A and B are shown apart, each in its own frame.
Chain A
Amino acid sequence: MMRPFLAAALAAAALFFTVPAVAATPGVGECMECHGDKTNEMTLPNGTTVSLFVDMQAYRSSVHGGSSCTTCHADAKAPHEKLKKVSCGKCHGDAEKSYAGSSHGKLHAKGITDVPGCDGCHGRHDIRKPKDPAARTFRLNIVATCLRCHKDRAIEQKYNLPDQKVMAAYEQSVHGMASKKSGLTGSAVCVDCHGNHSILPGDLPRSATHRQNIPKMCGKCHPGILEQYDKSVHGKGMRGGIAESPVCTDCHGEHTIAKIHDPSSSVSSRNIPKTCSGCHDKEAISTRYALPKKRFSSYMDSFHGIAVEYGMTKAANCSSCHGVHDILPAADPASSVNKANLPKTCGKCHPNAGPNFAKGDVHVEVSPKKAMGVFAVRLFYTIFISALVMLFVLHLGLELYGRWNRRKENGPGGKEGQS
Chain B
Amino acid sequence: MSSADLAAGKVIRMSLLFRLQHLLLTVLLLVLAVTGFALMYHENSLAQWIIRLEGGIHNRGIVHRVAAVILMASLAYHIFYMLFSREGKPELRQFYLTKRDFDDVLLSLRYNLGTAKEYPRFGRYGFKEKFQYWGTSVGIVLISITGIMLWAEEFSMLFFPKFILDLALVIHGYQGLMGFVLLFLWHLYNVHLHPSVFPMNPSWITGKVSAEWLLEEHPLEYEKLKEEGLL
Contacts and interface: CB of A to CB of B under 8 A. Distances in A.
A334 interface: no
A363 to B, nearest CB: 11
28 contacts: A306-B57, A310-B42, A311-B57, A312-B58, A354-B157, A354-B158, A356-B157, A360-B165, A377-B170, A377-B174, A381-B178, A385-B174, A388-B178, A388-B185, A389-B181, A399-B112, A402-B113, A403-B112, A405-B114, A406-B114, A413-B195, A415-B196, A415-B216, A417-B119, A417-B196, A418-B194, A419-B125, A419-B191
A419 B217 CA distance: 8
A236 to B, nearest CB: 30
Given A415-B216, A415-B217, A419-B190, A373 B166 contact: yes
A398 B178 contact: no
Contacts of A418: 128, 190, 194-197, 201, 217
B46 interface: no
A312 B132 CA distance: 39
Interface string B36-54: 0001001100000001000
Interface stretch (A88-96, A159-167, A345-353): A345-353
B126 interface: yes
B87 interface: no
Interface of A: 300, 306-307, 309-312, 350-354, 356-362, 364, 371, 373-374, 377-378, 381-382, 384-385, 388-389, 392, 396, 398-399, 401-403, 405-406, 413-419
Contact of B170 (A306, A353, A361, A378): A378
Contact of B174 (A351, A361, A378, A401): A378
A359 B158 CA distance: 12
B186 interface: yes
Q: Tell me whether chain B's interface is mostly helix, strand or loop, or mixed.
A: helix
B119 A416 contact: yes
B182 A388 contact: yes
Q: Which residue of B125, B160, B162, B181 has the most chain A CB atoms within 10 A of its CB atom? A: B162
A337 to B, nearest CB: 13
B215 to A, nearest CB: 11
A416 B177 contact: no
Contacts of A382: 174
Given A378-B170, A378-B174, A419-B191, A352 B56 contact: no
B202 to A, nearest CB: 13
Interface in B124-153: 125-126, 128-129, 132, 153
Given A310-B57, A415-B216, A419-B126, A402 B114 contact: yes
A170 B162 CA distance: 45
B166 A360 contact: yes
A145 B160 CA distance: 64
Residue of A354, A382, A385, A413 with highest tally of chain B CB at under 10 A: A385
A374 B163 CA distance: 8
A364 B165 CA distance: 11
B122 interface: yes
B161 A360 contact: yes
